[in-house]
Chains A and B, each alone.
Chain A
């Protein structure tokens, strides 16, 4: 498991029903591309987050496939519909099999 992985997401606390909200997500991860070499000239093996998904009340918002060309600490900004109060579930899938997730509730104002 990659060390120091910490997901962070920014979701508004409230929204009007039917609103579209902007969500920003970031996870601290080194995203080793598998192209770099260490001091001895050996390739450093690839270790990245290869998939990121977002769901709202069980329905998909975004399902993103990531490749080594995504920068360190992958940051993604996107928009989601909020027809009702509920919970966003963010899930990141690591190459090594680890899964990181975080949840955010949103209320209808």
Chain B
């Protein structure tokens, strides 16, 4: 098989697109985090993210987050077409800074939670969930 100049160029372009794609996805998630924290450093303690290790059905994956004293918690699914999942803002009548919900995951990926703590600092937790059947309809 012979490669013309045009074929070679097209292949090179294709390869470039493939290498750039995963980077773009994580960049979108990083943008979300930067928007939430304003670029501040994140510590590891102070937030708990509970997610199953293996989820059979990516359409409904139960997760819960808890960060004592936090004013807001951002939840992201790093491998979804759009990384945002939810933002919880806790008011003065919140009994605890915790919440549970059910989320969609497109495939095996990391779920990340970032909490804005009462003193203005940020904490991050992440958990890898293995997904057997993806939940974004394909």
The interface residues of chain B, by DSSP majority, are classed as strand
Interface status of B77 (Cβ within 8 A of chain A): yes
Interface status of B45 (Cβ within 8 A of chain A): no
CA distance A76 to B98 in the complex (A): 10
Interface status of A42 (Cβ within 8 A of chain B): no
Instruction: Enumerate chain A residues within 8 angstroms of B103, measured Cβ to Cβ.
Output: 69-71
Number of A-B contacts (CB under 8 A): 107
Interface status of B26 (Cβ within 8 A of chain A): no
Instruction: Enumerate chain A residues within 8 angstroms of B94, measured Cβ to Cβ.
Output: 61-62, 78-81
CA distance A97 to B100 in the complex (A): 25
Instruction: Enumerate chain A residues within 8 angstroms of B102, measured Cβ to Cβ.
Output: 70-71, 74-75
**How many B residues face the partner with a CB closer than 8 A?**
32
Q: Mark B80-96, 1 if CB is under 8 A from A, else 0.
A: 11101111111111111
Q: Mark B57-88, 1 if CB is under 8 A from A, else 0.
A: 00111001000000000000100111011111
Interface status of A72 (Cβ within 8 A of chain B): yes
Q: Kindly state the interface size class of chain A when it binds its partner.
A: 20 to 34
Interface status of B101 (Cβ within 8 A of chain A): yes
Beyond A64-B87, A67-B86, is A35–B96 a contact (Cβ under 8 Å)? no
Task: Look across to chain A and name the residue whose beta carbon is closest to the beta carbon of B87.
Answer: A65
**B59 & A72 in contact (Cβ 8 Å cutoff):** yes
Name the distance in Å between B115's Cβ and chain A's nearest Cβ.
Answer: 14
Instruction: Enumerate chain B residues within 8 angstroms of A75, measured Cβ to Cβ.
Output: 100-102
**B96 & A79 in contact (Cβ 8 Å cutoff):** yes
List the 7 closest pairs (A to B, CB-CB), nearest first: A60-B91, A79-B95, A20-B95, A36-B137, A67-B84, A71-B102, A63-B89
Residues of B within 8 A of A (CB): 59-61, 64, 77, 80-82, 84-96, 98-105, 135-137
